[in-house]
Structure 1
Amino acid sequence: MLPPQPPPAPDSPDFSPLAIGEDLSPLPAYKAAGTAEIGFDGLLAEPLRLREDLASGCGGQTWPAGMVLGRHMLRYHREDLREARILELGAGGGLVGLAVARGCAVGTTPLFVTDQLEMHSLMEHNIALNNLEGKVQAAILNWGEPLPAAVVALKPNVVLAADCVYFEPAFPLLLATLSDLLTLCPEATIYFCFKKRRRADMQFLKKAQKMFKVTEVVDDERPVFCREGLFLYTFQAST
């Protein structure tokens, strides 16, 4: 059963990433390895403990879009994911998926957090660190490759994707995987949050708009995070 969707956001050209100037936004400073406690501004009764470690790649750090998407899911979807089959794409350490598993009412089907092989041990570490074994499962999913058998069996109808737009050569691979997921489950909704940092990010969104039904998501915090270059959309199969 697909969770109910909020109404589309009103047109707001001032906040559109396609309307932002050509200046580039700097990447945030890298953090030293360590364990952080993240409570999403009190939205989690018990904060997540998250190991952040860049030794295996930039996905090992908490990035801004993950915080925005996590807060959105906790504020707007706390009670409507009981029947959802949930997968996080490009999870890194698993921030968003773990937050949903900890703070939202989810069913008995394990929530999948997925990324490349290099991130697998970090995802598993964070699952164990938060005592979410059995509720969250780590899996390898390489963009642009056939979906793993476990993902095909899951047939996710809710996909979480935060900070996946950062490496231009991977854009076609990411789009292919998003398309494969919507082909696998045409009624699925992809919650997609990204920070515009480079000119190429605009081209990614334009291509996504040609392939999918792209809708800006209603969120009371939208004026704040949009001014920081962060944008939150749903992607659905075109009808």
Structure 2
Amino acid sequence: MLDVTTQVDVGFLGYAIYTRESGRASTHYTVYGDEQDTIAEGLSVVRNHPAVYSVSGMTHGYRHGRAPTPGNATRDLLVEHDGKTQISDAFTSRGFVYGAPVDAFGKTEHWTVLSNATRETIRSLLDEIRDERDAEIVVKSITSASRTEDSNSLPLDGLSHRQREIFQLARKRGYYQHPKAITAGELATELSITTSTFHEHLHKAEARVLDLS
């Protein structure tokens, strides 16, 4: 999936992976992007990737009540692929559990994992994974599940990459000032997207930050 995100402006949410003893794996992905044409381009690259055996589209609306996904266009896929290219087993074999879908976008995977180990043990396990898989792992935070959230903090970790980028840019450039220091159209031009696409991402970001989604 990371190979695809370097070629096409799409991202992937990985919900579950099952790897057989043979090394062949099945993974449920949601591919997301700004336009359906971009999604189609991304699917073409996925199908032609040497590590992919088959790609099946999943019926729209098969799962009800799921959390919103980033992007204005999405497709759900079941992908059969070479599981030996995945780093997932390195985490799960050490007791880490998925806390949220793995988000692959722009050459990087973003993981939220759960563990009952101490901070010191977690850091040691991550060092093992780095050495074993020659992986670059950057820890954004290690948070206790019992921590009380700061009421003044904004839950930006819940935003997609594009939503976070647009929301933070809008704040930085004075879009929320009164009067506005910059218009949505000007910000959209700066980001090389349409004004409607800018509003779509910004509205989704605002809904999540305000806990309206």
Q: Same fold (TM over 0.5)?
A: no
How does the TM-score come out when normalised to structure 2? Answer: 0.30
RCO (CA 8 Å, sep 6+): is it higher in 1 or 2? 1
